[in-house]
Every structure is written in C-alpha cells, then in structure tokens.
Amino acid sequence: MSSPAEIIEFLQAVMRLFLKIHGETIWQQSHLQEKARKLLDIQCLVWKRVDKLFQSVRCVVSFLSNSQI
C-alpha cells in the first residue's frame, strides 16, 4: 500500500504530465480554462488546509521542546 505522500507525489506527476501534453489545448479553449481554474482553486484550498495542519504541528513541537519535562 502506498503512503499518502507517495499518492500525492504520483497525482502531481500525473497532473504535470497531463498539462505538458494538453496545456496548449486548455489554453486555447475557454471552457477548459474554467475547469483548470476550478481545479486550481480546489488544489489551493487543500494546500491551505495542509499548511494549517503543519502549522499546528510546528506549534505543538515548539511548545513541547520548550517545556520542561
């Protein structure tokens, strides 16, 4: 079974390859541009949530490393 990081890396590689092959077509057709914008918006929302989770982890690690146990 693949780890979440491997799955994310695979999906990004697939999207990168897809855009490399079909980017010109997407750029030329407005309805495809809109779909690409929606995908970008979704991806940005997901990364914001992931970033918030990382920030929470950093805060907890910082707190624990500064506390006297």
Distance between CA 42 and CA 48 in Å, rounded?
A: 10
Q: Which residues contact 27 (CB under 8 A, 6 or more apart)?
A: 33
More confident residue, 67 or 34: 34
Tell me which of 17 and 2 has the higher pLDDT. 17
Helix axes 30-66, 4-28, angle to 10 degrees: 150
Q: What is the pLDDT of residue 67?
A: 81
Q: Give the C-alpha distances (Å, rounded to integers) separating 39 from 46, 61, 62, 67.
A: 11, 33, 34, 42
pLDDT of residue 48: 93
Q: How confident is the model at residue 35 (pLDDT cuts 50, 70, 90)?
A: very high
**pTM of the shown model:** 0.63
Q: pLDDT category, 4, cuts 50, 70, 90?
A: confident
